[in-house]
Structures are given as C-alpha cells and as structure tokens.
Amino acid sequence: MQYGLIGEKLGHSFSADIHARLGDYDYRLVELSRDELGDFMTKKDFAAINVTIPYKQDVIPYLDELDSTAAEIGAVNTIVNRGGRLTGYNTDFYGMSELIKRENIAIEGKNVAILGTGGTSKTAAAVVRSLGAASIVKVSRTPKEGEIPYEELYARADSIGVIINTTPVGMYPRDGGIPIQVDKFKNLGGVIDAVYNPLSTNLVLAARERGIPARGGLYMLVAQAARAAELFFDDSGMMAKTEPIFRELEGKKLNIVLVGMPGSGKTTVGHRLAELTGRNVIDSDDEIVAATGMPIPEYFTKYGEGEFRNRESEVIEILAQKNGTVIATGGGAVLREQNVNALRRNGVVVFLDRSVENIVPTADRPLSRDREALQTRYRERYPIYCKAADIHLDANGSVDEVADRVIAALHAIK
C-alpha cells in the first residue's frame, strides 16, 4: 500500500472519496484490529497514511519523530515514511481550526466545553486554546482528573459559549443519539460536531433549530485530508482544494427528500430528479409494502393508522441513513417529528406544494380517498409541511418543470 487510512472500523469513511478528488494516487482503507496494528506499523510498508479511531495515540510509540503540534496534542492522524523513518503529524488541528473559522464561530474570550476525552478532544482543546478561549472544560461520562461529568456541565450551562462534540454519539450507524440537551444552554454562540456521518447530527440540528451556528465534521475532514496530502507530496496547492471538494462531496452525499400531499407528484418528480442528478430513488411507501408484504390500504384496515405510522418510522430511519439518494416520502411521513429529524440528518427536505385542486383523490390512499377527505388532510397538514421544509416549492406544472425548480433551489442554497 502506498497511501491510505488505518482504523478499526472504516465502513462509514469518506476518506477515499476525498483523496480521489485531491489527486491521482492510490488511497486505500485498511481495517486493523489491535493485534494487527503493531505488525503493520513495524513493517512500514507504506509511503504515507492517515490514522483514525481508535489508533491516534496507539501509533505514537512506533514513530521516529513527532511534529511539534502532534507532540503538544499527544495524538497523530498522519504518518509520512521518509526512507524508513516515520514522522507523525496532526492535521486534524488544521481541519478543526479551518472549520471553526469557516463557520464564523467566535472562540476568543469564550468558555468552551469539549465533549469527550480521546485524540480528537485533545486536538479540539489545542485549537480553541490557540484561538484565545477564556476557558476549556472537558466533559466525560466517566470523568477522571481535570474532567467533569455532564451533570456539572449543565450546572455551568449559562456560562458556556461554544460546545465541541468529539464523542461518537450520533455517529452512523447509531445516528439517532444526541450527547447533550442543547436547550439547557441559554448563551450558546456556536456548536461544532466532529462527526461527519451523518452530515448533520441531531446535535447540529438541535442547535440550528434554536438559531445557533452549527456544523458537522465534513469540512474538517476535507481540510485535514488536504493538509495531509500536502505532507504526502510536499505540495502546498492541496489546501486550496478544500472548499470546492467539500461542496462537491456534500452535494454528492446529500439526500433530496420530497414531502407533500398524497398525489402531489413526489414519486414521479423523484424519478425525474434521479435521472437528472444520477442518484438512486426510493419511495418510502414502496419500502413499507415490501416490509409488510401487503398493500398500504390493506395494512391500514387490518392494523390501524398507529401501527402503520410505526412501520413508516422504522422504514424512514433506515432510508435516512443513505447518502446521495432521492427519497419520496408518504403524505403523512412528516406527522412525526422524529421522521423529519431523521431525514434531515443526511438530507434537504423539499415540500412539493401542489394546489389541492390539482390533486386527484384515489382509493389506494386511505386518508384521502375522496375530495372532501383530501381537502381536510390538506388543511391539517399544510403548516406541518411548511415547518418541515428546508425548501418550499410550487409543484404545479409538469414533472420536468417541478424537477427543474428543485434543482435550481438546491443550487441556490449551496
């Protein structure tokens, strides 16, 4: 192997995608158990590598030299092999610093809480210290010397200006978690989450819901990779690629989630969007039928709406973990806030607002079989669709016209 990433579990990693955009070199993902790490490092059979969880500290004894930043932090995520001599660096420092600056989150003079105590936590502490934080507190569920428990963090909540999460809480595949209750912090000026999959964790979504600047770790991941590639090849031009690669990758990974009334065109528009963007398309109602083995009206009749909604939530939780997919949802998918949150973690929610006069009621839709039922559902759900939507679009017109509007709106928010 010439270049690559080592870690324990790499199925969720975006690193190969990023390095493929940085240059024309072979970059591989190598999963290693702890028993395999020592042999790998001793053989030195690589030109340069990145290191991720849980080996950012474990690799240090195998190195011949540490960059000053890596030595100060006590964690390494980049190793360069120069004639058999291994030098360790911490490009996460650059990545997190650039992410904070990009989001215009003020650190100077602020009290910063860092959730977690691993290698990324050490990096975060070094970064905010360099940016002039007034104080830094590390938070752990099992606090040791110098750390505090979450109960004490809540007691200090009014004094905390910035929160940085470096724990895996909320990370794929267990992306339904959230490490703290954001509403406890009345003076919060910014939230950074090192997790990049999903694109927006529940922590990031909760902060944005309250108008707090917040961002997940994808930009940090791209920036640190660009800095690592600079070290790989001694090429200072790599870091200028950060912003365009971030935008391209985020756009590729983002799901387009279509919500709206039954009959508003979600499925047909979804298929057209898939053709135009090169994405796969999935209809949540089709997935429910596949999971239950019966048509939705039959399932409704046999088990009731409550049980149907439970099944719907199970399906949406699975679909929401996908990347780069068009997801056409059922008309009532937005009725549960948990569904909307799940869909937002990796997606942008688009409300296809088609006038009720242009929607045809059909017998295969249990709650909108006739014109009266359809109008009732429209009145009930309209404000819910509006609240759920990141993009609210007029869906009157042809399939091509509506699909073009969606794409134009997506370009506008980038």
pLDDT in tens, 184-214: 999 999 999 999 999 999 999 999 999 999 9
Question: For the chain, where do the domains classified as CATH 3.40.50.720 start and end?
Answer: 94-216
Contacts of 267 (CB under 8 A, 6+ apart): 283, 328
- Which residue intervals of the chain bear CATH 3.40.50.10860? 3-89+221-239
**Nearest CA-CA partner of 9 in 141, 171, 246, 228:** 171
Q: Which CATH number fits domain 94-216: 3.40.50.720, 1.20.120.530, 3.40.50.1170, 3.40.190.10?
A: 3.40.50.720
Domain 3-89+221-239: state its class: alpha beta
Q: Left if phi > 0, otherwise alpha if psi is -120 to 50, otherwise beta: which for 304? A: left
Local structure of residue 329 (DSSP, 8 states): P
β pairing state of 85-89 and 78-82 = antiparallel
| Strands of 19-101, DSSP E | 27-31, 48-51, 65-66, 78-82, 85-89
Domain 254-413 listed as CATH 3.40.50.300: yes
Long-range contacts of 158-161 (CB under 8 A, 24+ apart): 158/185, 158/186, 158/187, 159/111, 159/187, 160/111, 160/112, 160/113, 160/185, 160/187, 160/188, 161/106, 161/110, 161/111, 161/112, 161/187, 161/188, 161/189, 161/190
Structure tokens at 134: 């007034």
| List 9, 56, 184, 387, catalytic entry | 56
Query: Rounded CA gap, 250 and 207, in Å?
Result: 20
387 classed as catalytic:
no
Task: For the chain, 414 residues long, give each residue's pLDDT as a single digit of tens.
Answer: 899 999 999 988 899 999 999 999 999 999 999 999 999 999 999 999 999 989 999 999 999 999 999 999 999 999 999 999 999 999 999 999 999 999 999 999 999 999 999 889 999 999 999 999 999 999 999 998 899 999 999 999 999 999 999 999 999 999 999 999 999 999 999 999 999 999 999 999 999 999 999 999 999 999 999 999 999 999 999 999 999 999 999 999 999 999 999 889 999 999 999 999 999 999 999 999 999 999 998 998 899 999 999 999 999 999 999 999 999 999 999 999 999 999 999 999 999 999 988 887 666 666 666 778 788 889 999 999 999 999 999 999 999 999 999 999 998 876
- CB 225 within 8 Å of CB 19: yes
356 contact partners, CB below 8 Å, separation of at least 6: 261, 374, 375, 378
- Determine the residue type at 102: R
Note whether 113 and 153 are within 8 A (CB): yes
Mean pLDDT of the chain: 95
